Structure 1
Amino acid sequence: MVTLAIAAFIFNTTEFVPVGLLSDIAESFQMETAQVGIMLTIYAWVVALMSLPFMLLTRQVERRKLLIALFILFIASHVLSFLAWNFPVLVISRIGIAFAHAVFWSITASLAIRMAPAGKRAQALSLIATGTALAMVLGIPVGRVVGQLFGWRITFFAIGVGALLTLLALIKLLPTLPSEHSGSLKSLPVLFRRPALVSIYVLTVVVVTAHYTAYSYIEPFVQNVAGLSGQFATVLLLILGGAGIVGSILFGRLGNNHSSVLISSAIALLLACLLLLLPAAQNEMYLAVLSIFWGIAIMIIGLGMQVKVLALAPDATDVAMSLFSGIFNIGIGAGALVGSQVSLWLSMSSIGYVGAVPALAAFIWAMIIFRRWPVAMLEPQHHS
């Protein structure tokens, strides 16, 4: 379980680490930050497009072998990122990583649930989520510090080394895990006939787009709009991530019984943070406090959605989760794209306001659907 959590940490660190390195990468290829940001969108959309097809292609493959293969692809792609002699090569290396990522997230949540002792499903997920949270807490800022000290290439190289060590641990520790409950294409129409589940998917894509519209460009925002130092950008990313751990603990305590209220409140909090982003940019203290609430909100939203998806699709967890991962990544890509367009055409200072529009829509939608399907959202107790 812990190794899986570490794997989650590594996969998420690499997805988001460019957020902290955008300015450096742009500089090294003589490009604009908003142009380099397209790399985030390509990565996220490849994950989104490939999650389901790859999961269905690999659904008969024994899970331990599959994880080992994923890690080999992942490590090789990082070596290519390290060597990338121009921007297109960097993008190609990121697509390789995205392929590995797509399969990894489709199977991880259900593996965690399978390996968890009875009655500990929420905790098992919460452990994986903590790996994810730590990626935002430590991964992005540490990646940024390494990038600033030794160059962004070394950051990617270091992630590859971390993945190699994790791979060795997985080879040693993981038992043989035949594939099960993965569902198949037949479960797709079944899942799409569940209005409660489909509404959660819709909510996910809208709220994630809102978050990433601003979050993808937080590093150039802090430096160019708020006029603060690169060091402060690192600190801010640390605070945002650290708050995620608080969100994760809160959710672990309250999530099983009050997930709907928690998610709705978190979306309202996210909306407030996006609206206050520009006003808060006048002062380091304001931005720091804002980041705490933002970090807590986004972590609760991410965890809450996963718990609801698993509760609504106990019969096809892999298909449901790979759809969730795909949809989440559509949101990441859309947010990064909107953020880059806003930065290029309007001004980077308005990313918070633009992000607030889908956040408001998400809040209204959450209110509607949690009222409409209050009970179906709870984790079924009979089903272990």
Structure 2
Amino acid sequence: MNFRVFVLAVSAFVVGMVELIIGGILPLIAEDLNVSVAAAGQLITVFALIFAVSGPVLLSLTSKIERKRLYLSSLAVFFFANLFAYGSPNFEMLIAARVITAMSASLIIVLSLTIAPKIVKPAYRSRSIGIITMGVSSSLVLGVPIGVLIGDMFGWRMLFLLIALLTLVAGVIIFYFLEPIKPDHVTSLRQQMTSLKSKKIFSAHIVTLLILAGHYTLYGYFAPFLESTMQLEPFWVSVAFFVFGISAVTGGGVGGWLTDRIGPQRTVISFISLFAVILLLLPISTSSMLFPLVLVIWGMLSWSIAPAQQSYLIQTAPETSDIQQSVNTSALQFGIATGSGFGGLVVQQTSVEATAWAGSLLVILALGFALYSFRKPAGDTKPARQE
């Protein structure tokens, strides 16, 4: 495996960490900036939505720029945006900083996903995507506990300063170890929309959205789920999150390895099916010794499908593979927002235990879209020729 893939993964980890790292210290931000906790929570929502929308657009607008230069430029913007967040005098300025951070982060993550499979041998493409996915997933999963630890010790502003410093380190590493990479082709916004007219491609993106929505329907309320079903104290809730996080980090690598072995379609079908079953079993397992095993499997599956999905898109639409990976990353972000919102409705209307079963229904729906996508012919995936 090309070591530069791991360099990109480290960069993706640093950038991805900024999304949810403030989730555990929202009360500190709310108190410092004189806003409600609910208002402070919009810092996460705004980030996810801006990230989802800006990725494909920015990738298209910058498609003629040499990739290493674009990567370093994006890291520079991300660096200054976090310094801006560190010194924000009020909530409005912090929101503005989050918008800029989300835009630059979306481009960095997408560039990492599109560059990695180009700098390795074909046999390692899925695994390279899996390694980048591990970087992103570990940042999302470990962001909350890291944020709580640093926020409680040094204040919430120190988080953004730390991320800015880590971004600087990542930029230096990228500068010295990543070679210049020419863009493959120009993908216009019109071509992006045209490519999504393909039912085969569009349904594949819906699969990603529904899987993440099903996952976050439960994960967004996992702490109260544990407290309600197992009466766990805060310490053991933290342990459960840690176990889940370690499992999720390894899931991307496992998914990439298996995709290279048996192919993306078989991997997607197998993992989605198992994912749906695990979500159904989670509430039941809380009253038995099987819960730790079910928790580990759930954690691994939560991010193991991403490499197979990305590889499937590369195989299905090689002419627009960069933009499809960007759109798929956006679908992931929309899935996070959708699942969190849907989970809230489930909790209000039924109970927190029902979030697992509701999430499983969304995953089963994703399985239907996956089967539909796989059975559609590939003839309608080519983009229209640009005049």
Q: Deviations over 1:314-363 (max 9, x none)?
A: 11222212211222211122223333455567665543343333223113
- Please give the residue correspondences for 1:201-350 in structure 2 after superposition, counting only pairs within 5 Å: 201-219=205-223, 221-222=225-226, 227-256=231-260, 257-279=262-284, 288-342=292-346, 348-350=352-354
Query: CA 1:360–1:54 in structure 2 vs 1: closer, same or farther (change >3 Å)?
Result: same
Q: Does 1:153 align with 2:157?
A: yes
- Please give the residue correspondences for 1:86-165 in structure 2 after superposition, counting only pairs within 5 Å: 86-136=90-140, 138-165=142-169
Contact 1:35–1:340, Cα closer than 8 Å, also in 2:
no
Aligned match of 2:79: 75
Between the aligned partners of 1:100 and 1:128, the Cα distance in structure 2 is 17
Contact 1:182–1:316, Cα closer than 8 Å, also in 2:
no
Between the aligned partners of 1:282 and 1:147, the Cα distance in structure 2 is 34
Paired amino acid for 2:61: L
Between the aligned partners of 1:208 and 1:27, the Cα distance in structure 2 is 31
Q: Which range is displaced more, 99-108 or 213-222?
A: 213-222
Task: After TM superposition, give the deviation of residue 112 of structure 1 in Å.
Answer: 1.3
DSSP 3-state at the match of 1:179: coil
DSSP 3-state at the match of 1:60: coil
Paired amino acid for 2:279: L
Between the aligned partners of 2:319 and 2:294, the Cα distance in structure 1 is 40
Task: After TM superposition, give the deviation of residue 163 of structure 1 in Å.
Answer: 0.9
Paired amino acid for 2:44: L
Aligned match of 2:382: none
DSSP 3-state at the match of 2:43: helix
Between the aligned partners of 1:84 and 1:174, the Cα distance in structure 2 is 33
Between the aligned partners of 2:242 and 2:219, the Cα distance in structure 1 is 13
The partner residue of 2:188 within 184, 190, 194 is 184
Task: After TM superposition, give the deviation of residue 36 of structure 1 in Å.
Answer: 4.2
Query: CA 1:29–1:210 in structure 2 vs 1: closer, same or farther (change >3 Å)?
Result: farther
- Give the structure-2-normalised TM-score: 0.83
Contact 2:252–2:306, Cα closer than 8 Å, also in 1:
no
What is the alpha-carbon root mean square deviation over aligned residues? 3.2
Q: Does 1:11 align with 2:20?
A: no
Query: CA 1:96–1:313 in structure 2 vs 1: closer, same or farther (change >3 Å)?
Result: same
Q: Percent identity?
A: 24
Between the aligned partners of 1:220 and 1:29, the Cα distance in structure 2 is 27
Structure 1 stretches lacking a partner, 5+ long: 377-384
DSSP 3-state at the match of 2:332: helix
The partner residue of 2:53 within 39, 49, 54 is 49
Contact 1:136–1:238, Cα closer than 8 Å, also in 2:
no
Between the aligned partners of 1:32 and 1:352, the Cα distance in structure 2 is 29
Contact 2:272–2:367, Cα closer than 8 Å, also in 1:
yes
DSSP 3-state at the match of 2:128: helix
DSSP 3-state at the match of 1:178: coil
Query: CA 1:173–1:228 in structure 2 vs 1: closer, same or farther (change >3 Å)?
Result: same
Paired amino acid for 2:332: F
Between the aligned partners of 2:228 and 2:91, the Cα distance in structure 1 is 23
- Give the structure-1-normalised TM-score: 0.84
Task: After TM superposition, give the deviation of residue 273 of structure 1 in Å.
Answer: 3.8
Paired amino acid for 1:152: W
DSSP 3-state at the match of 2:318: coil
- How many correspondences in the alignment? 374
Between the aligned partners of 1:34 and 1:68, the Cα distance in structure 2 is 35
